[in-house]
Amino acid sequence: MTRRSQIPPIDPARWQAPPVEPLPDFGPAALTLVAIPGGEPEDVVVDAEGYLWTGARDGGIVRLQPDGTAPEVIANTGGRPLGLGFARDGRLLICDSPRGLLALDTTTGRIEPLVTSIRGRQLIFCSNVTQTSDGAIYFTESTSAFTIDRYLGAILEARPRGALHRLDADGTVTTVVDGLYFANGVTPTADGTALVFAETQGRRLSKYWLTGPQAGSVTPLAVHLPAMPDNLSTGADGRIWCAMVTPANPLADRLAARPAVLRKMLWRLPKRLQPSAKAVVWAVAFDPDTGAAVAGVTMRHPRFSMATGLVESADRLWLGSIGGPYLGSIALPR
């Protein structure tokens, strides 16, 4: 079978990309790298004892000491682990493409599938996950049409095939927000009143309200971002950390507004001729109420780029990446 026949078709829509508004240039920071077996640690989280956890491109789930030393492969999903989050009972929740939403018993290494399909279709691009205080598990789906290996197809299509879902204790899955442009990171606000979620292609952060008079509705938090937001985490002081995987691409924005045939042709080109992400290190913390950018890092590094996940641990900010085999860390910006 030829490569051309293996490429799934795309169905592009004409789409007007959001405008770009600048963010503060928070400048560089001293970056420490830790090699991760299996490479490309997409997300990074911290357990109750301070251990770091990440997922590698080869399917490995890797645990590190609180200081980032001694990486150890605990399990393998058999797919591609993406966003991670800890459940209240200590299990590691794993978004995997194409396996769905999984849970890892961190003491035995046993992996259990939680959600593999939604309304009869396979969940092939589960993206990020969190559990709220009432026990509900919320997870994002970037697209219903492609796996992570074909993510560019979703970007070129420019169709709102992403969603935010809720998994209840009885196994019921409810779609609480749909029509999202490449849904990605999700994290609760410190007070538990809302979830903040990212749309990578929509280049915005929004709130899904859990309590109060706006419960069940969505309001904007930070819009017109100049980069593609990826995974999110909530800092100790309540600020919302966002990994900015790559700056907005003006050429891709122009193509989205033009006839679909151009993007269909681009999709069929060899990968080396397709658009590539600009290699930067970019992370921003947003005020959870106003959406103002209040801290961050903006820089280039010869061995680290394309930050996709991040978490505070002690006095460090840890960064995951799909741009190489490393986790990175910097002194926590104040």
Is 304's pLDDT higher than 50?
yes
Q: Report which of residues 314 and 312 the model is more confident about.
A: 312
Q: Going by C-beta distance under 8 Å and a sequence separation of 6 or more, which residues neighbour residue 137?
A: 87, 93, 101, 114, 129, 130, 131, 166, 167
Q: pLDDT digit string (tens) for 237-293? A: 999 999 999 999 998 899 999 999 999 999 998 888 887 788 999 999 999 999 999
Average pLDDT, the chain: 96
Pairwise CA distance, residues 251 & 233, whole Å? 30
Is 4's pLDDT higher than 80?
no
Determine the pLDDT at residue 277: 82
Pairwise CA distance, residues 238 & 168, whole Å? 26
The token duo for 60 is: 């490995």
- β-pairing, 126-131 with 111-115? unpaired
- β-pairing, 60-64 with 316-321? unpaired
User: Computed over its alpha carbons, how large is the radius of gyration of the chain?
Assistant: 19
- Residue by residue, DSSP assigns 15-79 as --PPP------------EEEE-TTS----EEE-TTS-EEEE-TTSEEEEE-TTS-S-EEEEE-SS
Pairwise CA distance, residues 273 & 258, whole Å? 19
Determine the pLDDT at residue 1: 36
Determine the pLDDT at residue 271: 81
Do residues 3 and 269 make contact, with C-beta atoms less than 8 angstroms apart? Answer: no
Determine the pLDDT at residue 5: 47
Q: pLDDT digit string (tens) for 82-131? A: 999 999 999 999 999 999 999 999 999 999 999 999 999 999 999 999 99
Percent of the chain scored above 70 by pLDDT?
99
The token duo for 315 is: 């006095």
Determine the pLDDT at residue 123: 98
b/e sequence 93-126, b meaning 16+ C-beta within 10 Å: bbbbbbbbbbbbebeeeebeebbeebeeeebbbb
Of 193, 190, 191, 88, nearest to 131 (Cα)? 88
Average pLDDT over residues 214-218: 98
Pairwise CA distance, residues 26 & 274, whole Å? 30
- Determine the topology of domain 31-331 in CATH: Neuraminidase (2.120.10)
Q: pLDDT digit string (tens) for 26-71? A: 999 999 999 999 999 999 999 999 999 999 999 999 999 999 999 9
Determine the pLDDT at residue 276: 79
Is 317's pLDDT higher than 60?
yes
Determine the pLDDT at residue 334: 78
For the entire predicted model, the pTM comes to: 0.96
Percent of the chain scored above 90 by pLDDT?
93
Pairwise CA distance, residues 309 & 89, whole Å? 23
